[in-house]
Amino acid sequence: MKLAFREAIRAFNRAPMLSMLSVTTIAFSLFAFGLFGLVALNLRNALQQVEDRVEVRGFISAGTSPEAVSAAVDDVALFPEVGSVKLVTEAQALERARRELREFTDVFEEGLLPASIEVRMKPGLRDPETVRTVAKRLENYDFIDDVRFGEEWVENLHRLRNIATGAGLALGVTFALVAIIIIGSTIRMAVLARSREIAIMRLVGATDGFIRLPFLIEGAIKGTLGGLLALVLTWIAVVVSGRWVLQVQFFETSLMFAGILAGAGIGLLGSALSVGRHLKKV
Amino acid sequence: MIRFTKVSKHYARGGPALEEVSFNLRRGEFAFLTGPSGAGKSTILKLVYVAERPSTGEVRVDGKSSVTLSRNDIPLLRRRLGVVFQDFRLLDDRTAEQNVAFALEVTGTSESHIGPKVARALTQVGLASKATALPHELSGGEQQRVAIARALVNDPLVLLADEPTGNLDERSTRGIFQLLRDINASGTAVLMATHDLSLVRETQFRTLEMNRGRMVFDSAADDPGAQG
């Protein structure tokens, strides 16, 4: 093991340019993937925020007894799709309207706006179909005059989300594949550069496992360095974007570790495949 | 110790390289493998160190049969053999002693044993004073000595030499040949492929002559002890 580490380090020292090239290639491949990940992450967050606002509002007829309304609120809260239910009294509706639409403050008079039940859906159950079902059930109450949930808006949002997910997956897989192919070929170059050494190792009776180990270590080190560099590049991109273009959210710590780990994993896998293929051939 | 029984080797492209070759090399023996280029000398050596497998027939080396030898057994078998080539095959970025030590390191020899073994091997080939020289600082003859030291350092049963003097001038050739004889005298068998007939003629060693993949002459054929 010690020898394998020494050989891996020696390989770095012997061909520093080639090693740097491998690391930078891995870094840029992962950087492209990371940038894409950032876009996907921020798009998802933005959609999430919009989706959180999906709500069904049932307007209550004037003169309904508070007991009936409160019983209905408890009832609705038990629907499996429903996250939370809130009763907005006439007074609260008026106050909110005055707050949100200041320029019309004097237009709103008491009794103008009806009380309502505001229903928010559970996460993951905000698709048009489910929202419509809840709206229908709300309509069944006698004292509900009208139910609104911005049908068209919910549908558009849903479609946008599907497109974003599909495109994201396709692009993500493509980026990952490209990264793996590029990384695999740089490691293949490193293996070919040392084919003479491999031949000599075999000649003097080194086992395949022994020959493979330094390459695996080398691949993992390169992958880790590439992953770190990619992370730094992505972070710089976020800072630059934040200053001049648009504030975006960076990866959580666990995702950062996952990224570096992915780099190490790809390096390891690329090396294993390249060396394996080489050993099988000679 | 090395026994070929009706060994043929055919390549998918290029046709037959060996046709029904049979011979036996005993422990401690010295034998020349002669013949023109392409006669099959290198193929025989490759079959011994299992860089190739026979198409038909059987190669036995140190009791291990090519028929039953698994891929995992090959490295262990190679540790019992020493191989040297015309082009030395040294690692250019390592000193003479590092090149020799390499053969021990990659076969898992403990570090405390490596130093003394390397020193002994380099002394044996007469290069103790150039242990820290890089290959490009050495003459061709000296580089071949390093390669021989590397082949010897694991105390092999047999030294396989594929045209070891092919790249050397007359004087270096003599030196290397003498070294191989000394090695043989100390008990290691030597199988040396060469087309330098002057070396062959000046000694009484056994000669196996190849031509177009067939063994056309074995100087020990009359000696019953060499067969079987």
Q: Average pLDDT, stretch A14-26?
A: 83
The answer to whether residues A218 and A8 touch, using CB atoms and an 8 Å cutoff, is yes
**Residue A193 at interface with chain B, using a CB cutoff of 8 Å:** no
Residues 6+ apart with CB under 8 A from A152: none
What is the reported pLDDT for B97? 96
Q: Among A29-43, A101-115, B47-61, which is the least confidently predicted range? A: A101-115
> What is the mean predicted confidence (pLDDT) over B6-32?
92
Give the one of A200, A210, A211 whose C-beta lies nearest to B91's C-beta.
A200
Which of B76, B78, B105 is the closest to A3 by Cβ? B105
What are the tens digits of pLDDT across the range B54-88? 999 999 999 999 999 999 999 999 999 999 999 99
Contacts of A196 in chain B (CB under 8 A): 89, 91
| Closest Cβ opposite residue A205 in set B78, B91, B93 | B78
Using DSSP, state whether A278 is helix, strand or coil.
helix
User: pLDDT tens-digit profile of A260-273?
Assistant: 888 888 888 888 88
For residues A178-197, average pLDDT: 80
pLDDT value at residue B160: 97
Whether residues A206 and B77 touch (CB distance < 8 A) is answered with: no
Selected residue of A9, A204, A211, A282 to mutate for chain B interface (largest B Cβ count, 10 A): A204
Closest-CA residue of A relative to B73 is A207
Q: What percent of chain A has pLDDT over 90?
A: 6
Helix, strand, coil content of chain B in percent (nearest 5):
35, 25, 40
How sure is the predictor about B225, in pLDDT bands with cuts at 50, 70 and 90?
very low
- What pLDDT score does B14 carry? 78
Two tokens at A274?
């390249």
At A137 the pLDDT is 85
Q: Helix-strand-coil percent breakdown of chain A, rounded to 5?
A: 75, 10, 20
Work out the pLDDT band at B223, boundaries 50, 70, 90.
low
pLDDT of residue B222: 61
- Name the residue of chain A whose CA is nearest to B88's CA: A200
Tell me the chain B residues in contact with residue A211 when contact means C-beta distances shorter than 8 Å: 106
Averaged pLDDT of chain B = 92
Comparing CA positions, the residue from B152, B131, B157, B153 lying closest to residue B142 is: B131
User: What stretch of H or E contains A42?
Assistant: helix A16-52
What is the count of residue pairs from A and B with beta carbons less than 8 Å apart?
44
Beta bridge pairs of residue B21: B7
Give the one of A197, A204, A211 whose C-beta lies nearest to B78's C-beta: A204
Per residue in A48-94, pLDDT (tens digit) is 888 777 888 888 888 888 888 888 888 888 888 888 888 888 888 88
Sign of CA dihedral A122, A127, A132, A133: negative
Closest Cβ–Cβ partner in B75, B91, B93 for A206: B75
A106 Cβ neighbours under 8 A, 6+ residues apart: none
Name every chain B residue with its beta carbon within 8 A of the beta carbon of A214: none
Q: What is the pLDDT of residues A145-186, one digit of tens each?
A: 888 887 777 788 888 878 888 888 888 788 778 777 777 787
A207 to chain B, any CB pair closer than 8 A? The answer is: yes
User: Is residue A277 over pLDDT 80?
Assistant: yes
- Read off the pLDDT band of B228 (50, 70, 90): very low
**Which residues of chain A does B118 touch, with a Cβ-Cβ cutoff of 8 Å?**
none
Residue B224: pLDDT over 60: no
For chain B, give the longest Cα–Cα distance.
Answer: 49
Residue A281 has pLDDT above 80, yes or no: no
**Interface test with chain A among B106, B111, B117, B160, by most A beta carbons within 10 Å:** B106
Do the chains contact at A205 and B75, CB–CB below 8 Å? Answer: yes
DSSP B12-62: TTTEEEEEEEEEEE-TT-EEEEE-STTSSHHHHHHHHTTSS--SEEEEEET
Task: Calculate the alpha carbon distances from B36 to B190, B198, B209, B214 in Å.
Answer: 20, 14, 9, 12
Is B154 close to A205, i.e. CB distance below 8 A? yes
Query: CA B147, CA B152: separation in Å to the nearest integer?
Result: 9
pLDDT at B127: 95
Closest CA to B103 of B78, B126, B128: B78
Residue-level pLDDT at A282: 59
B122, B100 in Cβ contact below 8 A?
yes
Tens of pLDDT, residue by residue over B155-204, are: 999 999 999 999 999 999 999 999 999 999 999 999 999 988 889 998 88
- Greater confidence (B83 vs A38) lies with B83
Whether A43 shows a pLDDT value over 50: the answer reads yes
Dihedral of alpha carbons B68, B71, B76, B82, sign: positive
Q: What is the torsional sign of CA B185, B191, B193, B198?
A: positive
Mean pLDDT on A27-40: 84
For the stretch B79-132, pLDDT in tens is: 999 999 999 999 998 999 999 999 999 888 898 999 999 999 999 999 999 999
Torsion of the alpha carbons at B176, B177, B178 and B180, rounded to the nearest 10: 90
List all residues of chain A from 210 to 229 with a beta carbon under 8 Å from chain B: 210-211
d(Cα B134, Cα A178) in Å, to the nearest integer?
A: 41
Q: Rounded CA gap, A74 and B106, in Å?
A: 75
Yes or no, beta carbons of B79 and A200 under 8 Å apart? no
Measured distance CA(B7)–CA(A78) in Å, rounded: 85
Average pLDDT, chain A: 83
Q: Indicate the burial class of A138 (C-beta count within 10 angstroms; 0-12, 13-18, 19 or more).
A: buried
